Structure 1
Amino acid sequence: MGTIAEQLSGEAHLTSAEKKKIIFLSCSVLLFSVMNGTMFMIAVPDIARSFSLLPSQVSWVVTGYIIIYAIGALMYGKLADIYPLKTLLTIGLSLFATGSIVGFFAPNYLFVILARLIQASGASSIVALVFIVPSRYFPEERGRILGIVSSTMAFASGIGPVIGGFVAGALNWQFLFLISATVFITIPFFRIWMPREEKKEGKVDVLGAILIAFVAASLILSITTFNWWFILISGVFFSLFAWRTFKSDNPFIHPSLFRNVPFRTTIFSGFLAIITMFGLMFMLPLMLSEINGLTTLLIGLTLFPGAMAAAFMGKWAGILTDHRGSRQIVFLAFTLMITGFLLLSTFNGSPAWVIGIIVVISYIAFPFIQTATAEIISTVLPKNEIGVGMGIYNLFNFMAGAFGSAIIGRILDYESTVVLNPFSNAQGNAIIYSNVFLGLIFLTIMNGCYFYLAFKNNE
């Protein structure tokens, strides 16, 4: 058998050692990509103090990154249907490292924002393309590899705030950029270890790509700023995108993609599930601070076991997906989510160690839902559309994260004196948290019914 460099296709047979190298390398850069987002959330107050910024001004460190990251995931996914993964990852990692270096030496806030945008334009290639690697290179082990990928994302989400808080506190927030810059050393290994592929037939509809980018950006801005004019702007760009799609011989996203019922169902159901999960992750630190009176460090320590449990369970999520089927694992994830939400609603206000144990149940649902939905996407689409399909999947996931955090944040602004959960002893400010967790249960049940009926009717 020839070496990887001699192989002409990602579908060529790989040795066990070659597979391990690709998986290790992919998960390593994915760790930095995801961690880069969570590290800077912790550093936002320090950045504001460094440049004497208002909250609305410093929020662009996070908002700008999310917008470019979400759009980039879609763009790289589409490009992966045409260009070799090795080439796209080389470009993405180079941009990620460049943005990190610019950020470390940034003399003012404008350069910090510029650095974050460059970072996002490169980091988005990682999350987009790593989800394509299992389908292209390991089709027989797709579920197991997707489980490992989901584990890495869960671990990065949990460890990011810890590392961010430590580095920003011990050194300076600018050193967070330096951590991300280390991805540059992985580029030669990608060039050597990744299978050689030829460029495929096809071209990218640039105008369509620009229009859908504006649709996504204005939608995210509408929910993160609560400026409803952005919804109108998004509608205008979406109309132009639809016109372009039906007029072009080679549209950026072919209309037939959304006529695929399993794909459409999984995208929408996954979107609702991620809204609830990100709503949970956004709400827990606020609840532990307001109700339990914990410091930032203690909040991180309380949530850390849940993130580690999710990372550990990712492997089993992949194994179960391969053996039991994707749809059954989706329902298992819904069951875990409902159980966790119910316990959090009931024991709201309990000691932090109790909340920490309950959070483990909720958090382990994340790798199950992500692994199973990604597996469905990769099996219901033809090979030449898996890239753009995964791009749409990632775009909706990132938008769901922004939507979930913003909506839950706005709901928590209100007060409630009526406890909807009959088993809860919540009092005072804890009541609204208990009621919101109950609302997440209702949304998850409705989502499960939709998912079941949609697939049943399709069959």
Structure 2
Amino acid sequence: MSDQKVEIRNPKALLFSLCFVLMFSVMNGTMFNIAIPDIAEAFDLMPSEVSWVMTGYIMVYAVGALVYGKLTDSISLKTLITFGLLVFSVGSLLGFVAPNYAVVLIARMIQAIGGSMIPAIAFIAPIRYYPNERGKVLGIIASVMAFASGIGPILGGMIAGFLSWQFLFLTSALIVVTLPFLRANLPDEKTEWVKIDYLGGGLVAGFIVSSLMGITLEQVWSFGVAIVLLVLVILRMKWARHPFIPPHLFKNSRYGVTLMVSFIAVACLFGLMFSVPIMLRDVYSLTTLQIGIAMFPGAMSAALIGRKGGKLVDQKGSRTIFLVSLLLLLAGFLIVSTTVGTHPVILSVSLIFPMLCFPLVQASGADILANILSKSETGVGMGVFNLLNFVSGALSGALVGKALDLYRPEHPINPLGISGSGSVYSNVFIIFMTLILIGFVLFKTLHKENSIQEAESS
């Protein structure tokens, strides 16, 4: 796209529409977690079969987020969002009337093809259209994602409980009502068709899918395929004239270390969101609705802190806020680890501390990357950022799930923790705390060194 400054008619209306559509997109993923047992019962499916409702969706969604990110560098956001929302709505309506499980899966894949456009554009739009308030807008976007992740299971449980799981698809289809508002407020930008490395994109997609299959389905052969495809991706990046992912992105050490530490932080946050519902059922025997209520304060705190945190990114600098958010996240995991086994209300309050860090980490990390990337590479650079977010969620969920299956200690590592059935969860949160500490040290050390080098060279 052209580097010329773009004017938008109504910035507030555009931001509201983006947040609304993003909330529906994120909830669409979390709502279906609740409905998986109902879908399995409806079609008499084994757990391995019904898991494709989520696994297949995640795979297509992850690939799509990267592809759409690449396309935003050449195609107008108005065109992309129109295509994405229409496709998503078609998939939602198809799922609502699906007569069998095969059609349900097809509907979910179509949803993912359209819906994966949303996070790509949600992170590109603040960078492109709100340059003077980028941190604040990114904070709002991240807080909406965190809030939707928390409220999705509650809403999904209510819809599936009072109506049926089919109505989750119908609820998702309502996202199309935002299209007129988005089209009215998005600027008319010229589409600059450029040559796209389809072979390189296909290799990247194959690597992502095979990696996610290995992670989520525990298929060893998938990792072998992923390694082969990764080698081919690297060779293609070196040999292609216009590679799908420019290799010099990863030669920038600031970009690389920010991606790596952000990946660690988001993986730990997704691991928290994955393990807490299981813990509340396992340790406290709470119902689905009670689990949602227990997690609601944390989700609400994330929603409330997002805008303020985004302003701080603009005022104090993204690097400073990123480091502070890592320290807060570290302390939050320690608090949760210590309160596992206490009264559910105490645990619910303790969850606020790590969950409110979600928008801070996302907003400051995205702003750091936006400062590093050139305008012509913002789309693909942020696409890789979104891709790693999805991969981190799949990886942390698989690893935590395996740990819960195999590891049942009687006493926690945390000397302040409570012994009993919650010990394994306390230990998981201590491990997350340790990973965040490692990430903090890496970022503070490597980013500082880069800053010094740049100062000396300027």
Decide: shared fold, TM above 0.5: yes
Q: Among residues 25, 35, 55, which one is paired with 2:17 in the alignment?
A: 25
* Secondary structure, aligned partner of 1:350: coil
Give, as a single letter, the amino acid of the residue that structure 2 aligns with 1:261.
S
The Cα shift of 1:419 comes to: 2.7
Matched, 1:244 2:244: no
| Runs of 4+ that moved beyond 3 A | none
Aligned partner letter, 2:198: V
Q: 1:45 aligns with which of 28, 32, 37?
A: 37
* Contact persistence 1:10–1:197 (CA under 8 A): no
Structure-to-structure mapping, 1:352-431, within 5 angstroms: 352-413=344-405, 414-427=407-420, 429-431=421-423
The answer as to whether partners of 2:75 and 2:193 remain within 8 angstroms in 1 is no
> SS in structure 2 opposite 1:146?
helix
Deviations 1:370-420 (A, max 9, x none): 000011111110000000011000000000000011111111121213432
Residue number in structure 2 paired with 1:189: 181
| Gap regions ≥5 residues in structure 1 | 1-7
Distance in 2, matches of 1:10 and 1:294, equals: 55
Q: Normalization by structure 2: what TM-score? A: 0.96
Which residue is 2:454 aligned to?
A: none
User: How far did 1:191 drift?
Assistant: 2.5
State the match for 1:77 in structure 2: 69
Identify the residue that residue 292 of structure 1 maps to in structure 2: 284
Contact 1:69 1:123 in 2 (8 A): yes
In the TM superposition, what is the alpha-carbon distance from 1:10 to its structure 2 partner? 7.4
SS of residue paired to 1:233? helix
| TM-fit CA distance, 1:91 | 0.8
Percentage identity across paired residues of the two chains = 45
State the SS of the aligned residue for 1:230.
Answer: helix
In the alignment, the residues of structure 2 paired with residue 27 and residue 435 of structure 1 have an alpha-carbon distance, to the nearest angstrom, of 35
In structure 1, how many angstroms separate the alpha carbons of the residues matched to 2:283 and 2:44? 30
Task: Please tell me whether residue 123 in structure 1 is matched to residue 105 in structure 2.
Answer: no
- For residues 138-185 of structure 1, give each alpha carbon's deviation from its aligned partner in whole angstroms, at most 9, with x where no partner exists: 111100110110111112112111111111111111011111112223
- SS for the counterpart of 1:140 is coil
1:442 to 418, 434, 442: 434
**Once the 2 structures are TM-superposed, how far is the Cα of residue 124 of structure 1 from its aligned partner?**
0.5
CA RMSD of aligned residues (A): 1.3
Instruction: Specify the SS of the correspondent of 1:377.
Output: helix
In the alignment, residue 104 of structure 1 is paired with which amino acid?
F
Tell me, yes or no, if structure 1 residue 114 matches structure 2 residue 106.
yes
Aligned pair count reads: 449
* Equivalent residue for 1:13, pick from 7, 24, 46: 7
**1:361: how far off?**
0.7
Structure 2 alignment gaps of length 5 or more: 452-458
Q: Is the 8 A contact 2:3 2:375 kept in 1?
A: no
1:115-151: CA deviations, max 9, x gaps?
0000011011011111000111111110011011011
Separation in 2, partners of 1:385, 1:358: 40
- The alignment partner of 1:204 has SS state of coil
2: CA distance between counterparts of 1:447 and 1:30?
28
Compute the TM-score of the two structures, normalised by the length of structure 1.
Answer: 0.96
The one-letter amino acid paired with 2:248 is S
d(CA) in 2 for partners of 1:190 and 1:343? 41
Pick aligned residue for 2:57 from 62, 65, 71: 65
What SS class does the counterpart of residue 285 from structure 2 fall into?
A: coil
For residue 253 of structure 2, the aligned residue among 249, 261, 265 is 261
